Amino acid sequence: MTITIENILLIGSMLLFVSIIAGKTSYRFGVPTLLLFLAIGMLAGSDGIIGIRFSDPQIAQFIGIVSLNFILFSGGLDTNWKTVKPVMRQGVLLSTLGVLLTALTVGTFVWLITEFSFYESMLLGSIVSSTDAASVFSILRSKSLALKSNLRPMLELESGSNDPMAYVLTIVFLTLVITPDKNIVSVIPMFLQQMLIGGLAGYGFGRLSKYIINKSNLGFEGLYPVLSISLMFITFSATDFVGGNGFLAIYISAVYLGNQDLISKKAIMRMYDGLAWLMQIVLFLTLGLLVYPSDVVPFIGVGLLISVFMILIARPVSVLLSLIFFKMKFRKRVYVSWVGLRGAVPIVFATYPLLAGIDKASMIFNIVFFISVTSLLIQGTTLSVIAKWLHVALPERVKPVSEVEKFISDYPRNLMKELVVSPDCYAVNKKIVDLHFPPTSLVAIINRNGKYISPSGATVLKANDRLLVLAENPEDLEKVRTCLVSES
3-state class of 31 per DSSP? coil
Label residue 108 by pLDDT band (50, 70, 90): very high
Q: Check if the beta carbon of residue 248 is closer than 8 Å to that of residue 162.
A: no
Label residue 403 by pLDDT band (50, 70, 90): very low
pLDDT of residue 277: 84
Q: How far is CA 219 from CA 43, 214, 216, 432, in A?
A: 46, 12, 9, 15
pLDDT of residue 397: 47
Single-letter amino acid, residue 404: V
| pLDDT tens track for 433-458 | 888 888 778 888 898 888 888 887 88
Check residues 157 and 365 and name the one with the higher pLDDT: 365
pLDDT of residue 6: 64
| pLDDT tens track for 36-77 | 788 888 888 777 777 777 778 888 889 989 998 998 898 888
Label residue 2 by pLDDT band (50, 70, 90): low
pLDDT of residue 263: 86
| pLDDT tens track for 282-334 | 888 888 888 888 888 899 999 999 999 999 999 999 999 999 988 888 988 99
Label residue 232 by pLDDT band (50, 70, 90): very high
Q: Which helix or strand (DSSP H or E) is residue 35 part of?
A: helix 33-44
Q: Model pTM? A: 0.78
Q: How far is CA 206 from CA 5, 76, 137, 210, 211, in A?
A: 38, 11, 22, 6, 9
Q: Check if the beta carbon of residue 245 is closer than 8 Å to that of residue 198.
A: yes
| pLDDT tens track for 234-244 | 999 999 999 89
Which letter does DSSP use for residue 147 in this model?
Answer: B
Q: Phi, psi at residue 444, to the nearest 5°?
A: -75, -40
Closest CA to 431 of 209, 218, 256, 203: 218
Angle at 373 between CA 160 and CA 103, to 5 degrees: 55
Contacts of 349 (CB under 8 A, 6+ apart): 126, 127, 166, 167, 170, 368
Label residue 402 by pLDDT band (50, 70, 90): very low
